[in-house]
Amino acid sequence: MDQEQFLHHISQHQGIIHKICRLYRHSKEDREDLFQEIVFQLWKSVPGFEGASRFSTWMYRVALSTAMAGFRKKQPDIFYTHELPHTHEEPEPDDQRERLFNALAQLNDGDKALITLYLEGLTYREIADITGITQMHVGVKLNRVKTKIQQLLNIK
């Protein structure tokens, strides 16, 4: 794959990189740094992409690995409540997205990776392949994560 093809693919899929940055880093500056780091690692890892899997599948693997392996400065302690603030009015889609991201941000690194891949619409088999854990373990963990998010978002 030459640089032009690579940039075309990245341009098409950059939304997922932004989402990963938002999940794994707290400040705007750290997110921008991580975005650059992911693009850099993807480009460096291109020779290892054999085309056996889809570009997006390979990209998830590199992007999530980079986000999880990167050294992060210790964040100030944040104390989360068991539920996000509940409003009686029907939230706007942007509010709902914000609530979803706030809920996802409370998960640990591994759970963030699993739920990202799940929300992207990958099968358990694909998730197992990317993360390196068994399909059964993916199922068990995802059920746990989904229940946790339901609780945080007040879904009955």
How many Å is the Cα radius of gyration of the chain? 17
How far apart CA 138 and CA 123 sit, in angstroms, is: 10
Binding flag, residue 151, other proteins (CB under 8 A): no
Binding flag, residue 142, other proteins (CB under 8 A): no
How far apart CA 64 and CA 116 sit, in angstroms, is: 9
DSSP class of residue 52 equals S
Of the residues 39, 55, 122, 126, which one makes contact with other proteins according to CB under 8 A: 39
CB 134 within 8 A of CB 140: no
Binding flag, residue 76, other proteins (CB under 8 A): no
CB 154 within 8 A of CB 86: yes
Binding flag, residue 26, other proteins (CB under 8 A): no
Of the residues 133, 135, 148, 151, which one makes contact with other proteins according to CB under 8 A: 133
Residues found near other proteins in the complex (CB under 8 A): 3, 6-8, 10-11, 14-15, 18-19, 32-33, 35-37, 39-41, 43-45, 48, 61-62, 64-66, 68-72, 74, 93, 96-97, 100, 108-111, 113, 119-121, 129-133, 146, 149-150, 153, 155
